[in-house]
A and B are shown apart, each in its own frame.
Chain A
């Protein structure tokens, strides 16, 4: 049963150690890079760019954090607490931008609004004195990232608002608080952990982002890491720079609790806040207009531009190989989703049944992979598997008289493990929330009523946690769809995906031809996003 602190059974210990080793290896290899300090590069960085890079990165992170908090929370509050024209379809439409990769939105927006865009051409011809306007500003980058990352906050906050107990709201109103005060004093604080969870995911994505910032040529810490690698060909210096990024993330994770606040209400079932406040007149139209505007900017506009490019530039790429790409993309994403969520479940269950420092540490460690720049994580995972192949598997195979071929590197298995390491954080949050719904009392009641553990799992756990597990799977699915660097580096021969095609086209600046794989990626991502919405609607 629920055993005491610090006494771990061997399966928990073994599994925990294995997963932690797998996840911490990339981090370890980064730390290990310090054994040989790249003095020259550090001196150069310090004397030239480092202060600017850190400043740029902080501005970006702060801007995105504020942006997604305001946008995600306000949209979620409007959708879950109020009623206005179009609310029903906007509720799911506002999730759709989640399927748009950040780098795709970035190049679409440059195409729509930069010097050479039809818009600025028209303005030059028709507006007296207008020459040109540069949209490649810090504000531009922040706006793009906010538009793609706000769905994290929106989704989690919406769940938290809708899951709130009705009695809490009524108590506050009875005590004489106005609806606004109730929102700020009661509803919002109760939703704070969910909002903080979403903001942390968005911040980690921002720190790891390379595609958007390089399209806008906005230099951040991540661009410096890539410069050290691809420019100076100094992977060690790149790794050392990345440890600074890592320190920042560890800091965020350490303070995660205080971001989330001390609210620990266990919500009683079946008394949900289901009556929405009906907005009327101009207020209602303002709400509709605001939601529609965000939806248009983050989804409709880019999709129209991509479709236009597909027709003008990319129809020739629509051949038989297209279906193969689709199959590869879906197969990789769905298997990675299953594996990642399975591992997340084991971590959370380990923590639940044998709480203590070790199991909490394993859970924290699971978050690391998400915040490292994708390519760097991919390369250190690749090195791990290369090392295992060379030092372990090939000697054993030779001893057995088998041909000396790699088993891990270039295999599907290794690629799926790399995805798992990268996206475990995305799965851990919803999985952990799902298991929190099963209160220990339920478990114990079932046992007292004579149910065997297997029966408890089937009849108590499964029905309660399944929705949360599905959410986790769908989130990982969409993230793997969009993943580029690990797929590029570790895919088996011939396993090209839509993201790989986007890389091929954009690497040489052929943005328009990237439109076909980009729109395909968005459509493939829409299916799980719609499922996600339907699921959470059924749940509440």
Chain B
């Protein structure tokens, strides 16, 4: 019995290995053909965007141009480390990721190459791309306030800095400072207000917290809905997702910092998802063509609408659902500032125990 079981299991395992080594040899033949550098109809992409958000985009491009796209997904940190390790032998032609901070890092580690393109310059506004032209924003993500409309009026709210006011004591929920979205928000505040003022604001937030910070935006909004607190700061697409699931939610979007002048006039904090061609791309021309296509209306529709974000292309409109949350004026500070000040922002948040 013992021996039989052992044999059976080993046999099963061996069969699995045999089956997949066949699969692998078939695969590596394909690979041999594929990675031949400079081959024009093949692109290799490293992306931190979720597969279900990028796959339709890749498929559309393949259907249109015949270019095959192979990709791996992972977090931005490990992908950047991998590009660094692989150096000039990297198979990757392009890096697609979210948050300007990540793109700024890749750029400052010299992993991306400049792309001269009038198409991209015409389509993507200057504050959503790098000055060195080595990465371009592809969609815009707005981080603003979401509040409980049954407990607050729109006129009660002003913006980010105002949430530090003592009248919000015990009424604020926030996501963890470990998330890059909050790091970028505070980084742009440092750029705008200076460190001293920013520290006061963040300290004020911490003092006003109703509950320990949350691990994601959705949980923070659910806490507002459940009455734990009255207001929170989130990326709008998370609100969109929640609204889609629960259409009669008591939550509403408020556009922050929209005052005509003075302290609260900076506009809504925005960040991007974006892409750059890798420094050692085997197929830079193909990568540039794909990057340019992603900035066109056709691709922008997919990129923005798949995740309820805003298109980066200057004259492109958001989807109906996203548009229904109202229009807003965005902060036109170059998003690269988020990268440059990110480390300072984290230190500042640690200092005031924003966890």
Contact = CB atoms under 8 A, between A and B. Distances in A.
B2 interface: yes
A49 B350 contact: yes
B238 interface: yes
Contacts of A489: 74, 78, 82
Contacts of B36: 403
B73 A219 contact: no
A493 B222 contact: no
B355 A338 contact: no
Given A231-B178, A470-B9, A491 B350 contact: no
Interface string B214-255: 111111001101111000000000100100000000000000
Contacts of B74: 488-489
Contacts of B343: 231-233
Interface string B15-27: 0110110011001
Contact of A466 (B3, B27, B77, B85): B3
A504 B17 contact: no
Interface in B34-59: 35-37, 44, 50-52
Contacts of A386: 82, 85-87
Given A115-B228, A375-B78, A504-B73, A534 B5 contact: yes
B5 A538 contact: yes
Nearest to B347: A44
Given A389-B89, A493-B70, A509-B238, A231 B346 contact: yes
Interface string A507-534: 1111000000000000000000001001
Given A231-B178, A232-B346, A504 B52 contact: yes
A334 B16 contact: yes
B211 interface: yes
Contacts of A509: 216-219, 238
B329 interface: no
A510 B31 CA distance: 33
Interface string A205-235: 0000000001111010001001101111101
A131 interface: yes
B56 to A, nearest CB: 13
B172 to A, nearest CB: 15
B17 to A, nearest CB: 5
Interface string B58-74: 00000000000011111
B54 to A, nearest CB: 10
B77 A120 contact: no
A124 B227 CA distance: 10
Nearest to B70: A493
B81 A382 contact: yes
Contact of A390 (B89, B223, B347): B89
Contact of B78 (A114, A115, A379, A467): A379
10 contacts: A227-B346, A229-B77, A231-B183, A394-B89, A466-B6, A488-B73, A489-B82, A492-B31, A493-B71, A531-B5
In the complex, the 4 A-B pairs of residues with the closest C-beta atoms, listed nearest first? A116-B222, A386-B85, A331-B20, A509-B216
Interface of B: 1-3, 5-6, 9, 12-14, 16-17, 19-20, 23-24, 27, 31, 35-37, 44, 50-52, 70-78, 80-82, 85-87, 89, 91, 105, 176, 178, 180, 183, 211-219, 222-223, 225-228, 238, 241, 342-343, 346-347, 350-351, 353, 355
Given A231-B183, A335-B16, A412-B24, 12 more contacts: A49-B350, A131-B227, A230-B77, A232-B342, A232-B343, A330-B16, A382-B78, A403-B36, A466-B6, A489-B78, A493-B31, A500-B73
